[in-house]
Each structure stands twice: as structure tokens, then as C-alpha cells.
Structure 1
Amino acid sequence: MNELSDASKLDLPSATLPATPMRVAYILHRFPCISETFIANEIYWLQEQDVEVSIFSLMSPKDGPVHDVAKKLLPLTHYTPWMSWAILWSQIYFLLRLPIRYLSAFVTVIRQTFREPKLALLAVALFPKNVHLAREMKRLKIDHIHAHFVWLGGISASVVRELVGISFSLHPHAFGLFQRNQKDAKYELELADFICTIATYHRRKIVELCPKVNVENVHIVNLGIDTERMIPRCEARAIGDQPLRILTVGRPIEKKGHEYLIEACSHLVSRGIPFQCEMMVGRGKEAESLQEVVDRFELQDRVKLIDFRDQQEVLKEYHKSDIFALACVMAKDGDRDGMPVVLIEAMACGLPVVTCPVSGIPDLVRDGENGLLVKSRDAVSFADALERLIGDANLREQLGDAARETIVDEFDIRKTTTRLASVFRQYSQPTQQSVPKQTAAEPVRI
């Protein structure tokens, strides 16, 4: 279908930047979130496109490591309690001035969630907070709202638009598209003014799910990374008599397919092929279950499970490795990866990758050109691809160089945020009234 062709590689017409920066609000369910660093990077670099960003976190952050880029964004972040006098006053404000809109916004929340009782309860509990956010965004003269995930952020954005008329867009990910109740997800997507997504696969899924959505309002915007930070190692790794090192990174959950990589490693051992494999999967019960798989195949001396690291340490792991592997599958509950950021990072670091053609991955990895694609849940074929790379240094270099070129050309975050800002401006023009620029050194409590 021509209308679903990948538009992410096309240059948008150069837009004249407005006299005043565009003000965009990101509504996120929780910020910062260690597994959503790609969103923090997007926001950070979007500011370079003459866009002023405010972050509204619906929930307080959890304890744990925070990446440096997220720390830099904390002064832009607004946190709101579940209830306060200010929130209560916002309910009175809209009930007195716009009672029909207030009730309509509440009904819209129910219509997006009633088939999912737990989500419905949470969305209703957040409703007073969302009403308060509408009043706050109006005060800040926000031009547009953007929400990642077809979930709480999108529901909140729909409340704000209903109350104060600010346009909003959604960037769905695998959870919303494939795991939520499809009728609820469809309704939430159809409320958005436009949709951003990462691959032709997702674009096609959205259009099939939502007949009311015009395909021209579904924009492919690649996930971007900083290719000046994620770079290949300066010198070729001195291998000598050491076995090649295979790396994978990902939570210990079904869709990552880690058990198939472990089984592939057992096939490599049976073939007498030397290698070492490090699996950065974190800690916990799921990781312990993976360790049991390693033990069952008696691979303790070949496969090592390690904890998650911060971004700088992850970069060092890429540089210490020779091959990156990610055996993605479609989980039994329908969950699947969209386009794993770790694949993009590994390719930016010049690593040859072996992965599976799940969801949007074929838009990133082109078999035999910048990586190798293997059928999902096929450990023997995965082992064959790894063996091919282990035994052919020229192929590793060729695929690694092509992988790096792909990321620089199509996934550099300066280019992806330029495109994102251009899409924002197609649907919303910045207000001309001046608003004092936030200079706080701490997150904002509203």
C-alpha cells in the first residue's frame, strides 16, 4: 500500500520558525523512568528546535538510578499531588464556568477505559488532577500536548483538550497497540489530533484498528539517539586467543526471547565454537528464571547474566563486545517489541546485529545489508547466524559499518527531533503572549 510507505526518510519542507518558541507539554505517567530514557532524550533535544517543553508527571518517580539527561530535565517537570486545595478549586472553576465540558471530559475518560476495570479506576482517580493540569496548561499558554503510550498520558491529554481546547498527539508503543483492550485503545487513538509512530508496521496497525484516523495524520518519526555519544570504539578490539563476545540487553521478559539466545548458545557449544555471551537483564525473579535456563544447558562458563548499568556503562559494554544479539518474539499475550532502542544503540556503536523480524524491526535491520534477521523462536537458525558472524571478521566489519551508517543517516536524534518539531508545527502555531521562562533548579509542585 503506497499510502503506508515509510515517510521517515523524506525531508519535510523547511518551516519558518515562529517569532516565539512553540510551547509543548509532555504528559507522562511517571518521570523520570529508567526504562523510558528514549523519551527523556527526545525532550532534551527537542528544545534545540525552538520548542519550549514542560513535563507533567502524573505520578511521583520511583527510587532508583536516574540517567543524566533526565536529571537535566527535572527543572522542567511538574508534579501534582492526588488531591490539594488547588486541585479542588480547579474542579469548582470548571464546574461553574464550563459544566458541560467538565462532565463531557469525565464521560470521555470512562469511554476510553470502561472495558478495563483497573485502568478505569486509576483514570477516574487521576481525573481531578487532569482537570487541574488543564487550568495550569492554560496559564502557561501551552500550544500542544504530546503523550507517549496509549494509556494514562493520552487519557489526560484528552481531558485537557476537552476543557481548554489544546491540541494533542499520541505516540503509541507496543503496550497500547497490542496489549490493551483494542476497542479502548481505538477510541483513545481516534481522539488524538495526530499520531506519531516509529515504523510502517505500526502505522499499518493504527490505520487498520482506527478507520476514522486519516493515514496522512499518522506520521513516522524514528526513535533517535545521540550518534555523537553512541560511537564505535576508537580501536579494533584486540581479540588474540580470546573468544568473541556476544552481548544482549533487555528486561527478562518473554518478548525479548532471551531463552532462545541461551538455547542458541548451547548449539554453538555443541559445535565447538568458542564465544562468551553477556546478558544484561537486571535482577529479580525473572532473571533468576533465566539463570535456571542457563544452568539447565550447563552454560555457566559461557553465558553470564549481569545487572543493568547506567548509559555510560552500557556504552562500555557495547565497546567490549563483537556481536549484538536480540532474539525478539511475539509474546503469548500479544506483547512485542516495537523497535528496541538497544538495537539502535548497538548499531550506532558499529556492532553487527542478529535479531528477528518482529514488528518494526525490519524498518531498522535489513537482512544481509546492515545486520542479520532470523526467524523468531528458532534457536538453531539463530545459532547459525551467530556462527556465521563469529567465523567471518570481514562480514562483521561490513555489517557493523553499514549499521552505523544507517543510524547516522536515519536515527540521529538531531534529525528525528527536527522532524518531530516540524510535525508539531503542522498542527499548532505558537501563541504570541509571553510567559516567564522557568528557571527553577528543582521540579515544580503545582
Structure 2
Amino acid sequence: MKTKSVIAVVLKGYPRLSETFIAQELLALEKRGHRLQLVSLRHPTDTTTHPVHDEITAPVNYLPEYLYQEPLRVLKAWWKVRRYPGYKKAFRTWKQDFRRDRTSNRGRRFGQALVLAAELPEETGLIYAHFLHTPASVARYASMIREVPWTCSAHAKDIWTSPEWELSEKLDDLDWLVTCTSTNVTYLKGLASDPAKVELLYHGLDLSRFDRHVERVHQRDGSGPDQTVQILSVGRAVAKKGYDDLLVALSRLPDSLSWHFTHIGGGTLLAALQKQAADLGLAERITWSGSQPQHAVLDALKGSDIFVLASRIAEDGDRDGLPNVLMEAQSQGVAVVSTRVSAIPELITSGEQGLLVEQRQPEQLSEALETLIRDPEMRDRFARSGEARLREHFDASKLVVKLSDKLKEHPSVN
């Protein structure tokens, strides 16, 4: 019986609490019979993991995060692959890239690609990169060295903070790419010499891990301490999440309204946001919970009335794709307030499954929050509609079949 080919999955870091959509995909692919080899460019930094990570059985190969940390491993890899037929093409490509991007990062990616190419299992039939920036660079160079085809799943920052020349050349080299928003599809098709390579594929949500919150009844209206409306947001404290806008919006709510805001997530801007909250006089109305595992996020969702995410396009072009946390909120019957950025309007029609406002508009965000705080019946209506749309159109168990079929149909995998 013929042994199935290995699919090497190149990731920026693994495991990561903020990338549950990748973990749920990996587990689903394993369950559908794919042999995976995980390759991580970085070691984990989170102190905890989600339960889904414990269920994934694929081995993980951690490449040298910085080349000076493992010079002998890099040198040994170069010595092994320097005579491979594809090495000269990979080196020429890297030199061409380096001339346009003279950074240490570019050199590190080639060094990591050498190690990847040298250490890939012999039965590897395909390299599949998550993110079109650095993981795709490593996958691309290694693909050339080993003469193994590669594919990619693109998301948000990796697309919108990368130069067009690099995106275009990667699209020419890979076999196919899937991405999670219609905006991404349109943009990448415009850069590809073969637009048919680019395809829309939502991540969706693994609904088996998010049972219906059948006891959910929206009743609190913020009219007093016993009617305090619980507002939740889950996300990293980084620019694209717009938490500074959200804090301004919260500060504009009428003093007579009773509400409490909880934030779950780490991030580089967390200390600055806590100071901003104190300066706005909001400290006593906010709980900063830090990074939490999925079960804790689920418990927080079950106790919340409103989920808010003030996503925006950051100055460097970084933005959300389709945030899983919005789908997680919908799965638990929480009413959602967010912004018209990326694929969020593909999940939520404002006035039907939640309320959407323009990005970077704290006044509009405050008005939307006040409306939902005061109107539990509207929250209930949005929650029911949002959950129904989620389960009909964004069930990951159905969506991953499409990805699995694309992988199985690849000639190098069969």
C-alpha cells in the first residue's frame, strides 16, 4: 500500500493562543487523513495553550529563530543542500529579493529555508504556508531547493504590509492560494498573472467546541447596578484592534448607564491602554484579564451581553481579516458591535446580525453601544440572527472539506 505524502505546514509560530483558526484547521485536516509535518519559524511565547493544540498529533520542527543561535545547524543544512539541483535557482531568487529588501530578516528567511529544505521528510509532497509574508518566503525558497511545490493560505497583515512586487512574484511561483476575505481575493487576483490561483475560503468556526448557550436571554438594560450590562472584547492590544477608539467611545457613554467592560488578550499596547482608561476615568469600570485559554474565553462570552471589536486599518496597512472572536461571540448568543473593515460586513449585516460603524469613529461606536445597552430585545434579535447565519455559512467543518479536497487533489500529494 502506497504511503501518503507528507504536507509540510510552515507557520510563523506554533502554538499561538491568537491563532485558534489555524489550530482548528490543522486538527480537521488530520482527522481527514492528511499526514502533516508542522514547521514553525518561532518558538511559542504563550504560557498556555488551547485544548485543540493537545489534540493535534503532527510533529513540530522548530527552525532556528535567529541564525546565530544555531550556526552549526544552518551550516550543516547549507552543506547538504548546496548541490541540490534547485539550490542555484533559490539562491538567485533570494539575491534578487535581497537587493530590493536589504534587511537581516531577508537573510534569516533564507537561512531558515536552508534548514527546512535539508530537514524535510523525504516523502514530503507539498509545502503549505500559513501567511504570505515571512512563512511564505521560507516556503518559497525551500520549495525551489527541494523542487517540491508549495501553496499558501493568506490572511491580513501578511497581505497588506507586503510590497506588491513580492506578492506578485510569490503568486507566480505557488500552485494555489486561499484567503479569507473577498477584499483580499480582489486585491491578490489583481497582482497575479494567473488570477485563477487565488480563491476565497473562510476559516469559519469549529462549532463542535462552541455549543449553543441555550439559557441566553437578554434582559439587562443598564438602568441600574442590578442591570449592569456586561461588555466584552477579546483581542491583542495592537493598533489594528482600535482599543484606543473603543476606550474613547466608552468614555462618551452617559453617566447614568450601568455597564462593565472586560478585555481579554495580551499585546504591546496593553499598558498604554490601561493608562488611557485611567486618564478617562474608566479604571473602575474595566477588567483587564490578559491572555486566556479558550475555555476561559467561552465562560466570559456566556456571561456577556455585548461583544465589541473596534477593528481598523493601521497606519502600516495591517488589518483584521475575519476575526474568529466575532464568530465565537455569535455562537454564544452575544450581540455584536464592530466596524466595516475587511470581511466583517461579510459576516454581519448592520441592523440584522449586529451593528457596524465606520472605523476610527468613537462617536458612532459610542452611539451603537448605548443603543444596544438600552435595548435588550434588539440584542436578543441580533443574537438569534447572528447565530443562525454563523451556523449556516461559517461552519468550519464544512469549509475545511474544500481545503482538504484541494490538498488531496494536488498531484504531488496523491
Note whether the superposition's TM-score is higher than 0.5.
Answer: yes
- Cα distance change, pair 355–122 in 1 and its aligned pair in 2 (3 A): same
Structure 2 length normalisation: TM-score?
0.89
What is the match of residue 292 of structure 2? 309
Of 368, 371, 378, which aligns to 2:361? 378
Correspondence list, 1:335-350, <5 A: 335-350=318-333
What is the match of residue 114 of structure 2? 128
Matched, 1:222 2:207: no
What is the match of residue 10 of structure 1? none
Of 88, 93, 103, which aligns to 1:108? 93
AA aligned to 2:236 is: R
- The percent of aligned pairs where both chains have the same amino acid is 26
Figure out how many residues of one structure are paired with residues of the other and give that number.
Answer: 404
Q: Deviations over 1:412-439 (max 9, x none)?
A: 22112111112223433534xxxxxxxx
- Cα distance change, pair 127–239 in 1 and its aligned pair in 2 (3 A): same
Matched, 1:200 2:182: yes
Residues 24 and 146 of structure 1 are in contact (CA less than 8 Å); yes or no, is this contact kept in structure 2?
Answer: yes
Residues 9 and 38 of structure 2 are in contact (CA less than 8 Å); yes or no, is this contact kept in structure 1?
Answer: yes
Q: Distance in 2 between matches of 1:47 and 1:74?
A: 8
Gaps of 5+ in 1: 1-17, 432-446
Residues 112 and 188 of structure 1 are in contact (CA less than 8 Å); yes or no, is this contact kept in structure 2?
Answer: no
- Cα distance change, pair 255–59 in 1 and its aligned pair in 2 (3 A): closer
Q: Distance in 2 between matches of 1:113 and 1:150?
A: 17
AA aligned to 2:199 is: H
What is the match of residue 223 of structure 2? none
- Cα distance change, pair 430–183 in 1 and its aligned pair in 2 (3 A): closer
AA aligned to 2:55 is: K
Residues 219 and 376 of structure 2 are in contact (CA less than 8 Å); yes or no, is this contact kept in structure 1?
Answer: no
Of 375, 381, 389, which aligns to 1:406? 389
- Cα distance change, pair 51–110 in 1 and its aligned pair in 2 (3 A): same
Measured on the aligned residues, the alpha-carbon RMSD in Å equals: 2.5
Residues 144 and 428 of structure 1 are in contact (CA less than 8 Å); yes or no, is this contact kept in structure 2?
Answer: no
- Cα distance change, pair 323–162 in 1 and its aligned pair in 2 (3 A): same
Q: Distance in 1 between matches of 2:177 and 2:267?
A: 35
SS of residue matched to 2:386: helix
AA aligned to 1:183 is: W
Of 251, 269, 280, which aligns to 2:254? 269
What is the match of residue 352 of structure 2? 369
Of 229, 234, 237, which aligns to 2:214? 234
- Cα distance change, pair 408–109 in 1 and its aligned pair in 2 (3 A): farther
Gaps of 5+ in 2: 221-225
AA aligned to 2:320 is: D
Residues 324 and 346 of structure 1 are in contact (CA less than 8 Å); yes or no, is this contact kept in structure 2?
Answer: yes
Residues 56 and 77 of structure 1 are in contact (CA less than 8 Å); yes or no, is this contact kept in structure 2?
Answer: yes
Deviation at 1:88, TM superposition (A): 5.0
- Cα distance change, pair 269–295 in 1 and its aligned pair in 2 (3 A): farther
Q: Distance in 1 between matches of 2:218 and 2:179?
A: 40
Greater CA drift, 395-404 or 154-163? 154-163
What is the match of residue 237 of structure 2? 252
- Cα distance change, pair 301–29 in 1 and its aligned pair in 2 (3 A): closer
